[in-house]
Structure 1
Amino acid sequence: MAYARTDDGIKLYYEEAGDGTPIIWVHEFAGDWRSWESQMRFFSRRHRCITFSARGYLPSDVPHKQDMYSQERAARDIACVLDAAKIDKAHIVGLSMGGFATLHFGLMFPERALSLTVAGSGYGAEPAQASSFVAASLKAAEQFDTLGSEKFAPIYASGASRVQLQNKDPRGWDEFARQLGEHDAVGSALTMRGVQARRPSLYSLEEQLRRIQIPVFIVAGDEDDHCLQPAIYLKQTIPTSGLLIMPKTGHTLNLEEPDTFNRYVWDFLSMVESGKWGMRDPRATSEILKVD
């Protein structure tokens, strides 16, 4: 068992496998270090892979103060895990909450990111959805407080963008819901209040996003309604980005369609490492049809 210690004294549990160019996997709100098992097994054949539990997620520490949870802190914690593993630069891959942390890591520590994969991210990012997202996050936090993780997990895991996993892979969904039910309820509630409900809108970061030079891969499921438009926005805003929309797929992309997810992320990383993933050709952004 390995732990990274953050600059504010929190221990973060991490595991690693394989050798090669490092990849760090950053889990979603409903996941933890175990969520990336299919990716750890596949990518560790050629890469050094690291998966960790965010603060508030066992076996990492669970601080009981809300001010110890924030979007900025989540991004800094990625850097702390890299420091503990003695890694200068890595490919950063995140899903949902982890995708937000990945993107913010790229903005805060661009010199340490070989690439960014931002999957299933954008819920609550659209200005028109911001207030309802905050309300839903605070309601979920209350449910973790009152019901506890074990009772609330099946409800949360049956959301509109989670039923796709349940329909495709009932056994996998059962494992997903069971693991969610094992989460520390205090940590989950404080993560909802401190990170999810308070994170800045992606649309407020447009100027910073337009300056990104790191290769970025954006992935969304076509039935993950709250993330589709933000994914398109990110594609149109980040000049180094590519976008994949996976058909008949919801939020838990890497669990629903692990083979497809792995293949496309593998192709992306291969293109990055061969120097073939560059900036968008300026000619591809013109809206004027040239006929001469």
Structure 2
Amino acid sequence: MPYIDATGVKLYFEEAGDGHPIIFLHELGSDSRQWETQVRYFSRSYRCITFNARGYAPSDAPRDPALYGWELAVNDIAAVMRGLVIEQAHLVGSSMGGYAALQFGLRFPQRASAIVAAGVGAGSAPSERDAWSRETSILARAFIERGMDAMARKMAHGQTRIQLKYKDTRGWQEFWERLRHHSPLGLSNTMARCQALRPSLHDLADQFGAMRIPALLAVGDEDVPCLETNLMLKTVLPNAGLWICPNTGHTINLEEQAAFNAQLDSFLAAVERGSWRRGRPEIEAKSNLKLEMTSDTRTKAVAR
């Protein structure tokens, strides 16, 4: 199996296709197999790379909680790029992976040519912060105390994941089955160190205001914990677009595979031809307003 060393932790990766690199970053409840449909499609034109985060076999799952955290998740993206000799890549992340992609964009702005953040922002809304802290602490213990069978069932039937069952029962069963076989220690440490301790995206609004990387935000309209934060990100990220997919929950790329691929394809094509969000509408509006005011002043002066 192919591995990359990331500060003493081995990360399992796969790649397919040739062209500009796309690195896919999975969510808490899945692994690199989450992106199979996207890899099959985009590897026709891109070099597609997936890897399992630390804690997700066959990547290493360290026992030491200190070897987990959102900062390490960002560093792991850089380690994968270094190991595969990639200077710059498009980043496509789901939930936890989308959070890491956005943080990577802040830390390494020259190395991300585009960012897609799907279903990002759970626990970031100011009204959710206290509850998020309590819930992540409880869940971190539950992975160990209750085991993966019970926790996989709970997560697969959650209010933002059950939509996949209604649309694609077989795909939902595959998701559930894969989740059952994850390491309870790996998910416990990931929940306790990566999810629970990560800063709210709302607290980074000023930093995002200076980030010029082309970005596509994707969220399902039934992914309620993420809606407020995506609207905030759309407001502060100067080069971002927002796609809200109807009747869709958290697993947007699994629930609506064709629509997700089409949106991603269109976004990346626009980025690569240089036509993605050439300017900020509010700046152009202010500029036009000044021109109108100047023109109006001149007209009045002539009339006098």
Bin for the TM-score computed over the shorter chain: over 0.9
Task: Provide the residue aligned with 2:302 in structure 1.
Answer: none
Q: TM-score, normalised by structure 2?
A: 0.92
Instruction: Give the superposed CA RMSD.
Output: 1.6
Distance 1:126 1:241 in 2: 19
Does residue 51 of the first structure (1) align with residue 50 of the second (2)? yes
Give the 5 Å matches for 1:187-198.
187-198=186-197
Task: Provide the residue aligned with 1:2 in structure 2.
Answer: 2
Q: What is the SS of the residue equivalent to 1:218?
A: strand
Distance 2:114 2:221 in 1: 24
**Percentage identity across paired residues of the two chains:** 46
Q: What is the SS of the residue equivalent to 1:251?
A: coil
Distance 2:115 2:63 in 1: 30
Shift of 1:128: 1.3
Task: Provide the residue aligned with 1:153 in structure 2.
Answer: 152
Amino acid at match of 1:3: Y
Task: Provide the residue aligned with 2:142 in structure 1.
Answer: 143
Does residue 206 of the first structure (1) align with residue 205 of the second (2)? yes
Give the 5 Å matches for 1:117-266.
117-266=116-265
Residue-by-residue CA offset, 1:239-285 (whole Å, 9 max, x unaligned): 01000000000000110001000000010000000011134233467
Per the alignment, do residues 198 and 204 of structure 1 end up closer, same or farther by CA in structure 2, a change over 3 Å counting?
same
Task: Provide the residue aligned with 2:71 in structure 1.
Answer: 72
Q: What is the SS of the residue equivalent to 1:42?
A: helix
Choose 1 or 2 for highest CA Rg.
2
Per the alignment, do residues 222 and 284 of structure 1 end up closer, same or farther by CA in structure 2, a change over 3 Å counting?
farther
Residue-by-residue CA offset, 1:44-74 (whole Å, 9 max, x unaligned): 0100000000000100000111111111111
Distance 2:38 2:221 in 1: 21
**Larger mean Cα displacement after TM superposition, 218-227 or 77-86:** 77-86
Residue-by-residue CA offset, 1:196-228 (whole Å, 9 max, x unaligned): 000000111111100001101101100000101
Shift of 1:134: 1.6
Unaligned runs of 5+ in 1: none
Q: What is the SS of the residue equivalent to 1:160?
A: coil
Residue-by-residue CA offset, 1:60-111 (whole Å, 9 max, x unaligned): 0001111111111111101111111111100000000001000001011111
**Larger mean Cα displacement after TM superposition, 258-267 or 149-158:** 149-158
Amino acid at match of 1:159: G
Distance 2:234 2:214 in 1: 12
Task: Provide the residue aligned with 1:104 in structure 2.
Answer: 103
Q: What is the SS of the residue equivalent to 2:241?
A: strand
Task: Provide the residue aligned with 2:301 in structure 1.
Answer: none
Per the alignment, do residues 67 and 279 of structure 1 end up closer, same or farther by CA in structure 2, a change over 3 Å counting?
farther
Q: What is the SS of the residue equivalent to 2:13?
A: strand
Unaligned runs of 5+ in 2: 297-304
**Larger mean Cα displacement after TM superposition, 45-54 or 147-156:** 147-156
Distance 1:111 1:147 in 2: 43
Distance 2:147 2:84 in 1: 33
Per the alignment, do residues 285 and 182 of structure 1 end up closer, same or farther by CA in structure 2, a change over 3 Å counting?
farther
Amino acid at match of 1:2: P
Task: Provide the residue aligned with 2:88 in structure 1.
Answer: 89
Distance 1:27 1:127 in 2: 25
Per the alignment, do residues 274 and 248 of structure 1 end up closer, same or farther by CA in structure 2, a change over 3 Å counting?
same
Q: What is the SS of the residue equivalent to 1:13?
A: strand
Residue-by-residue CA offset, 1:108-154 (whole Å, 9 max, x unaligned): 11111010101100110011101101211111112111121123101
Q: What is the SS of the residue equivalent to 1:248?
A: coil
Distance 1:42 1:54 in 2: 22
Q: TM-score, normalised by structure 1?
A: 0.96
Distance 2:230 2:68 in 1: 25
Amino acid at match of 2:77: I
